[in-house]
Amino acid sequence: MITTSFIGITMLTACFPLNRGPIKSRVILTHHRGAYRLAILVKDLGENPRIRPRDPLPFSHNASGAVWVGVKFPFEKAKEIILLSRNYYKELKYFALSDKRPGVPESVHRTLYIGGSTSAALNMKLLAWSEEEFAQLKKIKTKEEFFQLIRSRYGDGKRKKRKPLTPPPAKKETKASEKKVLQKGTSGKKKNQKPRRVR
């Protein structure tokens, strides 16, 4: 079985030879039922997608949650294809650029691979995207912003803990008002007042 990491893409591009002449961009989709419907939409965007040969193991959305983005693939198309792909690859949440690993061939830099190996993504210590990142993706206007968003989820494989929020001012006022009430309650008592004896 070919692992769909960057090494796997290098092997796959050998299986799908490019046309003679200048190297063109390409889209490769991991095989499953929804890939054929997605391929039709990708064709409408001017790309000629290739569906990877069927894997002996059953397809799993959880196991195919990565996207490998070639740094020379047109970013506007990459953005649109990624957003479309979420309807057919339900667990896409790991993204990496082709320049993350050194020594990959030129064809990989021009390839967008949808449905890459989740285990390969975890080995690369990629952080999962949340809905927040996908919302940012929709607003991106430049290639630089696109690359920056992808690289922002490179890490040690763990989400950073957020700093605890400071208590709102209303709570501080409540504590202050409670103090005043306590002070009033104690100030009402006379000083040096002896306790009454019970007969």
Any domain includes 179: no
Is 107 a member of any domain? yes
Both tokens of residue 59?
């397809």
Q: Is residue 96 part of a domain?
A: yes
pTM for the whole structure: 0.69
- The answer to whether residues 57 and 1 touch, using CB atoms and an 8 Å cutoff, is yes
In a domain, 186, yes or no: no
Sequence-separated (6 or more) residues with CB below 8 Å from residue 109? 70, 71, 72, 73, 98, 99
User: Residue 164 falls within a domain, yes or no?
Assistant: no
Domain residue limits at 46: 6-151
Instruction: Give dist(CA 94, CA 48) in Å, integer.
Output: 24
Domain count along the chain: 1
Whether residue 67 contacts residue 82, with contact meaning beta carbons closer than 8 Å, is answered with yes
pLDDT for the residue numbered 166:
44
Q: What pLDDT tens digit does each residue of the chain (199 aa) get?
A: 344 555 455 434 433 444 445 568 999 999 999 999 999 999 999 999 999 998 888 899 999 999 999 999 999 999 999 999 999 999 999 999 999 988 889 999 999 999 999 999 999 999 999 999 999 999 999 999 999 999 999 986 455 443 443 444 555 544 555 555 455 555 555 555 555 565 5
Q: Per the domain annotation, does 142 fall within a domain?
A: yes
Residue 1 in any domain: the answer is no
Greatest alpha-carbon span in the chain:
113
Query: How far does the chain reach from its first CA to its final CA, in angstroms?
Result: 95
